[in-house]
Amino acid sequence: MKFLLLILLFCFLVPTFCLTGKFWQFTDQHYDWIYKYKSEPHSGECRKGEGDAGFYGDYNCDIPWLTVASAIEEMSIIEPNVDFVINSGDTWPHATGSAEEKLQTIANVTNLIRKYFPNTPVFYSPGNHDFEPKHDCAPGANTWLAQMAQAISPILNTEQKKTYLQGGYYSQVIGGIRVVIMNTVLYYRSNKYTSSASGDLSNQYAWITSQIDEAYENDEKVLFVGHVPPGHAERFGFNNFHDQYTDPFMKVFEEHPHKEIILASLYGHLHSDSFRLTENAGPLLLSPSLTPWKNYHSSLGVPNNLGMGRLFSYDKQDQTLLKYEQYYADLQTCNENLKLKWQLEYDSSQEPFYMEDLSLISYEKLYIKMKNDEKMFSDYLNFNILKYKADSCDSDCRTRQFCAIKFLHTDDYDICKIIQDY
Ligand SMILES: *[C@@H]1O[C@H](CO)[C@@H](O)[C@H](O)[C@H]1NC(C)=O
């Protein structure tokens, strides 16, 4: 009783402490269970030979278990009292292995989050590498979804499992926020099962619509989570979805009569720190990856440092997303010192962005500032790959960045690139 009174008194004196909720997002672990220290980095994997593969991971490869474990442990040290934790997918490495091992990596990482956050809801949105074969998620109920549901069973309740089995999606309401986990691998550009399909795959559009409807009726706000974001990759220029899905997918949000209750949509996949503007349906926030892996399939491939995680703060009264803190580690220094040093990279409410909150309006303002202020744009580029040595950004690079941020719809993006008007 005394303790409660003390808390009440404390809340009265420092209201932000009690009125601010928090949650973690981390993504794209690409954990390689066969990673070998001092092996020879070879086409994206460090598994054999003698070479200079680092202790905690390598810019040319993925990362060993100890790096994944350390990142999750550190999240629980920096802020254990969060309302939920999001893993937005791609647990599996870029190297190969069996289906059984793939399910083990998903289960092992899920169990580890459970261990460090024993009483916290944990969400997982499936990544393209988490399907077997990779990228290929078949529409509708299928055996792989059932096996994945088994692998993440410690974090999935009976109700959630029902919709997960139908298409890899589910939701939960926490403190007035409806967290809606989507399966956007259905639309992924490399998904062979859906390249020539169309329509509402796995009835996901209808389900998303009903989630916004229900949230509106219950006076909640909606936070979407997915792995592959719609729109284009800001560094590489390609469409993340098969072309036919981008516009219909965006319309599910942008044409909903209650789209104003959408707080934001959180994604991973591109291994980059960026954002996207929508037509009044909340901003899309792209979280950088834990793995430093360089994209070998693109001439514009660059590695990044280790993105530990992103700690969001929100207002518990009206659910406004207030800010996030992005944490990272400089891989080269860590490997040289044989010590993992996680640190704050930046806080969205502080230098250099000074964002008032994470609303769409604040992101629209940031976009304009970045366009007019070279220093602000170069700060963004620096964070885009977690302070890895960024190359200079020529006018094509600049156009790709700004067009991708502003235009999610394919035609608008193509026009933006041609006339370079963003
Ligand atoms: C997963 O964890 C189990 C139990 O610790 C271990 O035996 C197995 O090798 C791990 N598998 C992978 C792929 O990490």
Of 86, 89, 42, 87, give the one whose Cα is nearest residue 62.
42
**Does any ligand 1 atom lie closer than 6 A to the CB of residue 91?**
no
Position 297 scores a pLDDT of 87
Report, as an integer, the average pLDDT of 300-307.
95
What is the distance in A from the centroid of ligand 1 to the CA of 238? 35
Q: Dihedral, CA atoms, 273, 310, 277, 404, nearest 10 degrees?
A: 20
Whether 108 is in the pocket of ligand 1, judged by its Cβ within 6 Å, is yes
Ligand 1 pocket, 349 CB below 6 A? no
* CA angle in degrees (0–180, nearest 5) for 269-385-367: 85
Provide the whole-model pTM: 0.96
- Which tens digit of pLDDT belongs to each residue from 372-404? 999 999 999 999 999 998 778 999 999 999 999
Model pLDDT, residue 95: 95
Task: Decide if pLDDT at 15 tops 80.
Answer: no
Catalogue all structural domains in the chain, each as residue range(s) with its CATH number: 25-419 (3.60.21.10)
Binding site membership of 104 for ligand 1 (Cβ less than 6 Å): yes
- The mean pLDDT value for 53-57 works out to 98
The token pair that represents 36 in the structure block: 């070998």
User: What's the rounded mean pLDDT across residues 174-200?
Assistant: 98
Which pLDDT score is estimated for 105?
98
284 to 165, 202, 209, 244, 360: CA distances (angstroms): 26, 23, 17, 20, 9
* Interval 217-236 mean pLDDT: 98
Q: What is the pLDDT averaged over residues 228-247?
A: 97
For residue 1, the model assigns a pLDDT of 56
* pLDDT above 70: percentage of residues in the chain: 96
Confidence of residue 77 (pLDDT cuts 50, 70, 90): very high
65 Cα nearest atom in ligand 1: 14
Is any ligand 1 atom within 6 A of the Cβ of residue 105?
yes
Mean pLDDT of 352-373: 98
Give the atom of ligand 1 at the shortest distance from the alpha carbon of 107.
1
pLDDT of residue 322: 98
- Residues 30-45 have pLDDT tens digits of 999 999 999 999 888 9
In this predicted structure, what is the pLDDT of residue 389? 87
Expressed in angstroms and rounded, the spacing between residue 104 Cα and the centre of ligand 1 is: 6
What average pLDDT does the segment 299-315 reach? 96
383 alpha carbon to ligand 1 midpoint, in Å? 33
- Cα(150) to ligand 1 centroid in Å equals 15
